[in-house]
Chains A and B, each alone.
Chain A
């Protein structure tokens, strides 16, 4: 057991970082030239959504956070791209620890649902999950604000 009174760090970068990343990803999308068929709106929507998440993950700290790392990995798998992550000091997967700890049953149901929502939640302990959720919520709300402003900016005048 480590001495544990470190303040939990859930700092999130400013809006403009998110904006920049999002706009970059959107312009990349546009460059790929897959938007000539306006019928398939679903695909487009999905692509935009994915671009939003990926840009959020990159803006929020890249591979420094567990959830962003898991998000990027998931996205890269879909594109069948090879993504390289810099080596971290600690191992990310700690599934063994998860089973050895005794769990409170009521709490664990909820934690399961949370794990399904937060990317990368499957491999985390409950306390780590809470930290990641906090950071994830902050980043998500920032991303929502950015997208809202963009939509407002693009609204017909």
Chain B
């Protein structure tokens, strides 16, 4: 479940409430109000995007939040007067405040958490926010840690709220990187490509030693070239070995016997002993490559070859 550690929670809350409840300076609390009014626009965004949720949101906050707020205030032992003054005009802001206080309670939708955390971030003037997450499900621990250090200005929260989309690739924005749409797409693309390169790395032997995209791509290119050269070389060999390209059944069976393991002697009318004696070395070498399905398939293949239709296909001379 998403929850914040009690210490960070208390500290942020105390800071925020002290701002609000300081009875000496009214201007500070007005600053607080200004901050909260800015949050209103963000809330309006929230309402626009999630029209279903917002009435529930406000309801939840409205009913539970005040109780929570009272509880916290009693804990802090502060005078409630200032806070009471704020309440009547700002139902939604009241909701915001109470949201922060009841943050620990239930796991609500991630958008709301984002908003809340953004609110918390506003109250921290020091430093810069380290990471900004654009994932749909945000871990509250990370957020509050960063909020401890960080302050996010308006644009940050807007962009981070803008990116919460459904059914998109979840990209983590790292520190110091731009978070506009193009670079996000670029990053997603690069990650896709690197994932596929990892697949390729498994296939191509000898790719493990080289790191980095360029070296690996070089290896892959060399491998493809060598495979193509092998095909050419083998085709040359084939043409020399068998100029008329006759394929007797003997040849076929010998080739298939290379792949087979031993228990297939019942197949036949062919002279296996002669062939097998010559092919034992290759058989041992190839045995390691034998797969079970190859046996089964080759049996069917051989049976097919023995039928009349295929016999004419490979005519004996």
The chain A residues found within 8 Å of chain B, CB to CB, are 1-4, 8, 10, 14-16, 19-20, 23, 26-27, 29-30, 35, 38, 41, 44-45, 48-49, 52-53, 101-102, 104, 106-107, 110-111, 113-114, 117-118, 126-127, 130-131, 133-134, 136-138, 140-141, 143-145, 147-157
Contact = CB atoms under 8 A, between A and B. Distances in A.
14 contacts: A3-B167, A10-B203, A15-B294, A16-B298, A23-B314, A27-B313, A29-B245, A102-B182, A117-B228, A140-B228, A141-B227, A151-B238, A153-B279, A154-B241
A22 B289 CA distance: 20
Contacts of A52: 231, 234-235
Given A140-B227, A157-B278, 17 more contacts: A4-B169, A27-B245, A35-B244, A49-B235, A101-B189, A104-B190, A110-B214, A117-B224, A131-B199, A136-B224, A137-B200, A147-B235, A150-B238, A152-B279, A154-B238, A154-B242, A155-B241
Interface stretch (B55-63, B115-123, B215-223): B215-223
Contacts of B294: 14-16
A45 B232 CA distance: 8
A135 B240 CA distance: 30
Given A3-B169, A110-B221, A144-B230, A19 B301 contact: yes
Nearest to B244: A35
B: contact size bracket: 35 or more
Contacts of B228: 117, 140
B168 interface: yes
Interface of B: 167-169, 182, 185-186, 188-190, 192-193, 196-197, 199-200, 203-204, 213-214, 217-218, 220-221, 223-225, 227-228, 230-232, 234-247, 251-252, 254-256, 258-259, 274-275, 278-279, 282, 286, 289, 291, 293-294, 297-298, 301, 313-314
Tell me what chain A mostly uses at the interface: helix, strand, loop, or mixed. helix
Nearest to A51: B235
B239 to A, nearest CB: 5
Contacts, number: 168
Contact of B196 (A16, A27, A44, A131): A131
A20 B301 contact: yes
Nearest to A30: B245
Contacts of A143: 231
B252 A149 contact: no
B185 A1 contact: yes
A144 B235 CA distance: 10
A16 B256 CA distance: 9
Contacts of B234: 52, 144, 147-148, 151
Nearest to B191: A4
A20 B297 CA distance: 11
Contact of B247 (A26, A114, A149, A156): A26
B235 A1 contact: no
Contact of A134 (B200, B232, B247): B200
Contacts of A138: 203
B246 A114 contact: no
B232 A133 contact: no
A130 B217 CA distance: 10
A68 to B, nearest CB: 15
Contacts of B293: 14
Nearest to B218: A110
Which 6 A-B pairs give the minimum distances between C-beta atoms? A153-B255, A130-B196, A110-B217, A147-B234, A48-B235, A30-B245
Contacts of B251: 150, 153-154
Contact of A153 (B217, B220, B232, B254): B254
B77 to A, nearest CB: 50
A26 B196 CA distance: 35
A134 B223 CA distance: 11
A156 B214 CA distance: 44
Contact of A27 (B188, B190, B314): B314
B215 to A, nearest CB: 10
Given A4-B169, A107-B217, A157-B278, A38 B196 contact: no
A8 B238 contact: no
Contact of B239 (A15, A45, A113, A117): A45
Contact of A49 (B232, B244, B313): B232
A145 to B, nearest CB: 8
